[in-house]
């Protein structure tokens, strides 16, 4: 793909937009960047462009869209009237990950991971496994570094592993994105404000499989019918993982849950679950997907075990952060939807006092309630969603108590007072953070501060078996 002299419009001046603009300009393109936000809000982002692009800030000019040779969309930007007009004028509109795919070296092994929940953990673990093999590895995408940066990062290696977290927002504007290995973890209610219906949301997620061929691999959660349908609808060879029973081709748990068993067509491989410090059934599923994706990509088994033993949870994803009087505190602030919380609580190895609430996202709380019935000591509620969640509890006739708290510090004090020895206080809100905090990271940091204030001993997640 030759960009020399091409008029490239990058829509959105977030991290991936900046990376795409710089990439295209370095290859001789005439780059314009447009963003609806005001210049003062974008000052830091503009500085990172180093003058490589013409700026159209504070709004969009329709003629710039229709006069472009190619438009590159940032994932946070929805369909615009201007992009619709551009398509009608014959201008191609693609995602940053699609642009990256077109420039990746043909010898690079692309692993793409998507799902409503767990994709960052799975991507990070898969990236760590690939890196442990000693082969040059790039890990990023929707997680951390934009995928376009993989092109230059691996340029000298003429190949290597590229492990990418991909979101539905990114897949929506792909046109041929073809990973060698694609994994779909789950599809639960989220982002319906953007996609409208679950069917359309699932369609966007399953585009990760859409352009695969017979020599590629599609990995699906056997317990999620929407993901299974997407994988089976592709031309790739299908593999499955399950936390609830055996599969003929793929990964599953031994009957005592002590091992992850992989069936790859030439016998079985066994990996002790004690290698992992990440807790909960959902994280065993994440590990199974990562193990499958990397083994199908040619990573040796010893690299899988070495990386699994060293892997630690990402910040704010069921991260053990403190202990006081036998009560452990977990930061799962990234649990921003009901499905994430239900998955996190399934198989949790202790009774739980849950801290939940925030800005309601319009989902059904039933899956979370069903998980709580198995493990909850109590629930402490904060934020705007408190009366909505309380109503759901009343209608479900739950037996565990729920208590209101005024802020995060009050919630932590209350949760600790309700917990017993060997219980866990878990922040996993099932809601977005924007009613009380800047983002989920800010919420997690305030939780940690509140845990410290009550005198809890700070903990780093321990090595398995220690």
- Same domain (yes/no): 272, 338: no
CATH number of the domain where residue 161 is located: 3.40.1190.10
* Residues with pLDDT less than 70, the chain: 189-196, 460-466
- Same domain (yes/no): 61, 164: no
- Same domain (yes/no): 176, 272: yes
Can you give the pTM of this predicted structure? Answer: 0.85
Residue listed under structure tokens 């974008």: 42
Compute the distance between CA of residue 388 and CA of residue 180 in angstroms, rounded to an integer.
Answer: 43
Q: What is the DSSP string of 186-250?
A: ---S--HHHH-SHHHHHHHHTHHHHT--TTSEEEEETT-HHHHHHHHTSSSEEEEEESSS--SSE
Tokens at residue 56, please? 């159209």
What pLDDT, on a 0 to 100 scale, did the predictor assign at position 462? 44
Instruction: Look at residue 251 and give its three-state secondary structure.
Output: strand
Range of the structural domain that residue 445 is part of: 319-458
What pLDDT, on a 0 to 100 scale, did the predictor assign at position 198? 87
End-to-end CA distance of the chain: 52
What pLDDT, on a 0 to 100 scale, did the predictor assign at position 390? 98
Q: What is the CA radius of gyration of the chain?
A: 23
- Domain count within the chain: 3
Instruction: Look at residue 161 and give its three-state secondary structure.
Output: strand
Q: Among candidates 122, 116, 17, 31, which has minimal Cα distance to 75?
A: 17
CATH number of the domain where residue 70 is located: 3.40.50.720
- Same domain (yes/no): 43, 181: no
The last residue of one of the domains, among 90, 117, 143, is 90
Q: Do the Cβ atoms of 347 and 278 come closer than 8 Å?
A: no
What pLDDT, on a 0 to 100 scale, did the predictor assign at position 190? 65
- Same domain (yes/no): 331, 426: yes
The last residue of one of the domains, among 310, 328, 348, is 310
- Same domain (yes/no): 142, 280: yes
What pLDDT, on a 0 to 100 scale, did the predictor assign at position 169? 87
Residue 110 makes CB contacts below 8 A (sequence gap 6+) with 101, 104, 162, 164, 178, 179, 180, 181
The last residue of one of the domains, among 56, 90, 124, is 90
237 beta partners: 217
Compute the distance between CA of residue 99 and CA of residue 78 in angstroms, rounded to an integer.
Answer: 18
Compute the distance between CA of residue 164 and CA of residue 110 in angstroms, rounded to an integer.
Answer: 8
Per-residue burial over 393-415, b if 16 or more Cβ lie within 10 Å, else e, is: beeeeeebebeebeebbebbebb
- Same domain (yes/no): 327, 302: no
Q: Among candidates 415, 436, 288, which has minimal Cα distance to 354?
A: 415
What pLDDT, on a 0 to 100 scale, did the predictor assign at position 466? 32
- The answer as to whether 466 is a domain residue is no
Residue listed under structure tokens 């989902």: 363
402-404 and 376-381 as β-strands: parallel, antiparallel, unpaired?
A: parallel
- Same domain (yes/no): 259, 117: yes
Helix, strand and coil in the chain, % to nearest 5: 40, 20, 40
- The answer as to whether 464 is a domain residue is no
What pLDDT, on a 0 to 100 scale, did the predictor assign at position 191? 59
CATH number of the domain where residue 371 is located: 3.90.190.20
């Amino acid at each position: 793909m030759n960009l020399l002299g091409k008029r490239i419009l990058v829509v959105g001046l977030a991290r991936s937009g900046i990376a795409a603009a710089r990439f295209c300009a370095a290859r001789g393109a005439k780059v314009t960047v447009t963003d609806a936000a005001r210049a003062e809000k974008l000052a830091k982002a503009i500085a990172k462009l180093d003058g490589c692009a013409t700026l159209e800030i504070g709004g969009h000019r329709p003629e710039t869209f229709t006069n472009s040779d190619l438009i590159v969309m940032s994932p946070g930007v929805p369909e615009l009237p201007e992009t619709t007009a551009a398509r009608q004028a014959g201008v191609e509109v693609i995602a940053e990950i699609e642009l990256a795919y077109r420039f990746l070296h043909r010898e690079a092994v692309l692993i793409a991971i998507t799902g409503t929940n767990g994709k960052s953990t799975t991507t990070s673990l898969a990236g760590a496994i690939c890196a442990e093999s000693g082969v040059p590895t790039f890990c990023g995408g929707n997680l951390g570094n934009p995928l376009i940066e993989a092109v230059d990062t691996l340029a000298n290696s003429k190949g290597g592993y590229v492990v990418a977290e991909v979101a539905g927002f990114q897949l929506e504007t792909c046109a041929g994105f073809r990973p060698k290995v694609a994994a779909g973890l789950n599809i639960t209610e989220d982002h319906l404000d953007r996609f409208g219906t679950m069917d359309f949301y699932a369609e966007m997620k399953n585009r990760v499989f859409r352009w695969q061929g017979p020599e590629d691999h599609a990995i699906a959660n056997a317990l999620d019918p929407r993901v299974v349908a997407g994988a089976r609808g592709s031309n790739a060879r299908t593999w499955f993982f399950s936390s609830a029973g055996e599969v003929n081709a793929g990964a599953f748990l031994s009957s005592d849950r002590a091992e992850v068993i992989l069936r790859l067509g030439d016998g079985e491989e066994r990996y002790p679950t004690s290698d992992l410090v990440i807790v909960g059934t959902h994280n065993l599923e994440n590990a199974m997907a990562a193990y499958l994706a990397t083994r199908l990509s040619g990573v040796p088994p010893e690299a899988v075990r070495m990386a699994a033993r060293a892997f630690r949870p990402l910040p704010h994803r069921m991260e053990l952060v403190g202990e006081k009087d036998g009560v452990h505190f977990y930061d799962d602030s990234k649990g921003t939807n009901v499905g994430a919380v239900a998955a996190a609580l399934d198989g949790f190895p202790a009774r739980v006092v849950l801290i939940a609430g925030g800005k309601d996202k319009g989902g059904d709380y039933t899956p979370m309630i069903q998980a709580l019935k198995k493990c909850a000591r109590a629930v402490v509620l904060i934020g705007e969603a408190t009366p909505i969640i309380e109503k759901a509890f009343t209608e479900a006739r739950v037996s565990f108590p729920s208590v209101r708290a005024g802020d995060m510090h009050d919630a932590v004090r209350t949760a600790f007072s309700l917990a017993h020895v060997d219980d866990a206080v878990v922040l996993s809100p099932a809601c977005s953070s924007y009613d009380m905090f800047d983002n989920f990271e800010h919420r997690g940091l305030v939780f940690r501060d509140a845990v410290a204030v009550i005198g809890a001993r700070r903990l780093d997640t321990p090595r398995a078996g220690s």
